[in-house]
Amino acid sequence: MHAPDVRTVLIALPSRDYDPSEVGVSWQILSTAGHRVCFATPDGERAAADELMLSGEGLDLWGAVPRLRRLKLLGLVLRATGDARRAHAAMARDPAFAAPLRYSALAVRDFDGLLLPGGHRARGMRRYLEDPDLQRFVGEFFDSGKPVAAICHGVVLAARSRSPRTGRSALWGRRTTALTWQLERAAFSTMRLIGRVWDPGYYRTYAEQAGEPPGYRGVEAEVTRALATPADFLDVPPDAPDRFRKASGLFRDSDGDARPAWVVRDGPYVSARWPGDVHCFARTFAALLAEPRVG
């Protein structure tokens, strides 16, 4: 038997606060499939994950109290799962992770696939989402027809990136999903009611401005505004099998259980909503990369 072609995949990261599940599990699945995974950051320096999502410390009501922050209740539920934390730890030992490229040095010809993970913490994610060099590269990559995968806030980056050919969003004319307002609002509300009362906006990267309706700055609304038609934003349909598992935000997929996942593929583009979709998301992207090259 011939070994499958090795693809070189780029995972673009912010300098800090990326979601460790979306990055670690994706790296693990792509690497296990035999692909070479590279990384990029704004300055070419090693990226740092959102530590709250790794440890769970600081996600509870008492999280601001130094002597109590290690006591975790809600933090155990909201942090990355055990298999995601192990995948992230293994990725952190990869020499490629320690030596990322700069956004400004990226060239489409050097990669066979592109993966855009998410995160939500504003201090790290905003630079990632707003970087003009990265947006330029993402727009060119979509135009190349090579495989792209985006999850959670990574879909916002795709939506903000412009096609050099058309000047429109890279997602114009494509079907996609992303973090839904239902999931984003639920996480935000949890923090306001029983979690980080000193930092209630932890789960909102952008907050609404005066006069804007609730959710206007949320991921779903921004992505939808970039699409050719609102119908191109796909959420879990009412008649989907295992709909409650997929839509409630109470379940996450795993290596052996894809029932909670909701992943959309449109040609060479794969998208997903949140860390609870990441195993299915990464496997779908790995399968896309394994398909015969076109052209």
Tell me the C-alpha distance between 222 and 237, whole Å: 20
Give the tokens for residue 22: 């979306």
pLDDT of residue 189: 79
Q: Which residue has the tokens 């790794």?
A: 54
> Residue 19 class from Cβ within 10 Å (0-12 exposed, 13-18 middle, 19+ buried)?
buried
Tell me the C-alpha distance between 42 and 105, whole Å: 10
pLDDT in single tens digits along all 295 residues of the chain: 334 589 999 999 999 999 999 999 999 999 999 999 999 999 999 999 999 899 877 666 655 556 656 665 565 567 899 999 999 999 999 999 999 999 999 999 999 999 999 999 888 999 999 999 999 999 999 999 999 999 999 999 999 999 999 999 999 999 999 999 999 998 877 766 655 555 666 788 999 999 999 999 999 999 999 999 999 999 999 999 999 999 999 999 999 999 999 999 999 999 999 999 999 999 999 999 999 876 5
DSSP state of 53: H
Closest among 125, 117, 120 to 97, alpha carbons compared:
117
Helix (H, G, I), strand (E, B) or coil at 282: helix
Asked whether the beta carbons of 273 and 183 are under 8 A apart, the reply is: yes
279 membership: H or E segment, kind and range: helix 278-290
Torsion region of 44: left, alpha or beta (phi above 0 gives left; psi -120 to 50 gives alpha): left
Give the tokens for residue 124: 């790290």
Q: Beta 148-151 vs 269-272: how paired, if at all?
A: parallel
Tell me the C-alpha distance between 50 and 122, whole Å: 11
Tell me the C-alpha distance between 179 and 273, whole Å: 4
pLDDT of residue 69: 60
Amino acid sitting at position 153: H
Pick the CATH number of 8-290 from 1.20.120.1200, 1.10.8.10, 3.40.50.720, 3.40.50.880: 3.40.50.880
Closest among 231, 282, 235, 228 to 255, alpha carbons compared:
282
Give the tokens for residue 214: 């609730």
Tell me the C-alpha distance between 288 and 294, whole Å: 12
Tell me the C-alpha distance between 147 and 126, whole Å: 24
- What pTM did the predictor assign? 0.93
Cβ partners under 8 Å of residue 159, min gap 6: 169, 170, 171, 178, 222, 223, 225, 226, 227
pLDDT of residue 292: 86
Cβ partners under 8 Å of residue 285, min gap 6: 26, 30, 113, 115, 147, 149, 270
Cβ partners under 8 Å of residue 293, min gap 6: 5
